[in-house]
Homo-oligomer: A and B are copies of this chain.
């Protein structure tokens, strides 16, 4: 944890220096630049909750997901539900999507055994009947 925080602080300091020197272009701060690079590790999990899915189950599971994504090695994440689309190739049967992005496989390995992740499994596993995971690395 200490190492991670130190690294973040270092980057922050560097960014401040770069900004002061005018080295950060507007586009790199504008929110329009693409940020996902091939070296990232994509970990996308789909959960099918047990039927019938009640609002109580949803509230509980959404709360647990929000606690889960506080794990420090998650570089970015998106918590979702099926979008309102429906072509034949689209699987809309899952209940929740957990997209997590890690800087590398090592960061994902830390996440897998992180106490917050283990607590998430302990608190939530009775709610789901199926989980499918896709892990991807760039080529």
Q: In A1-30, which residues have CB < 8 Å from any B CB? A: 8, 11-16, 18-19, 24, 26-30
Q: In A49-97, which residues have CB < 8 Å from any B CB? A: 62, 75-85, 87, 89-92, 94, 97
Contacts of A135 in B (CB 8 A): 82-83, 85, 90, 92
Contacts of A15 in B (CB 8 A): 26-27, 29-31
Is there a chain B Cβ closer than 8 Å to A105's Cβ? yes
| Copies of this protein, total | 2
- CA of A26 to CA of B42, assembled, Å: 26
Give min CB distance, A105 to chain B, whole Å: 7
Q: Which 6 A-B pairs have CB atoms at the shortest separation, nearest pair first?
A: A80-B136, A15-B30, A83-B135, A97-B136, A29-B29, A16-B26
Give 6 new A-B contacts, CB below 8 A, not counting A18-B29, A44-B99, A44-B134: A34-B75, A62-B139, A80-B138, A81-B137, A83-B105, A83-B137
A interface, CB within 8 angstroms of B:
8, 11-16, 18-19, 24, 26-32, 34-36, 38, 40-42, 44, 46, 62, 75-85, 87, 89-92, 94, 97, 99, 101, 105, 108, 131-139
